Amino acid sequence: MFQRLSGDPATLPHLRRIESAVRARFGVPDDALVLVREERTRLPGVPARETLVRFWIGHARYRLRVFKPLAEVGEADLPVAWLLPGLVDDGDPDCC
């Protein structure tokens, strides 16, 4: 069974806004899963917080990373729709 981890309720509007933008940009169906989270980073030269998005369309899994905290991510930060094939999550770790 899954349980929601406690978090800041103030982040919920940002999570919903980003999920909605991802669905609209890439045509993710309403019944497909979109996961959005903010993660702290500790790597030199990388912003302290970044936003990670994973989503599914059919059996294909996609991922993207925005080097901004949730509250700062806007539609302009998402890749253009025709880059969708480049977002395929094939299981290889990120280079960055």
DSSP string of 66-92, one letter each residue? ESS-GGG--GGGSPPGGGGGGGB--SP
Task: Give the predicted TM-score (pTM) of the model.
Answer: 0.84
Of 4-8, 24-28, 58-62, give the lowest mean pLDDT range.
4-8
61: nearest Cα among 38, 36, 32: 32
| pLDDT, mean of residues 2-7 | 54
Strand 34-40 to 60-66 pairing: unpaired
Q: What is the DSSP letter of 32?
A: S
| Tens-place pLDDT, residues 38-90 | 999 888 888 899 999 999 999 999 999 999 999 999 999 999 999 999 999 98
Phi/psi at 32 (5° precision): -95, 155
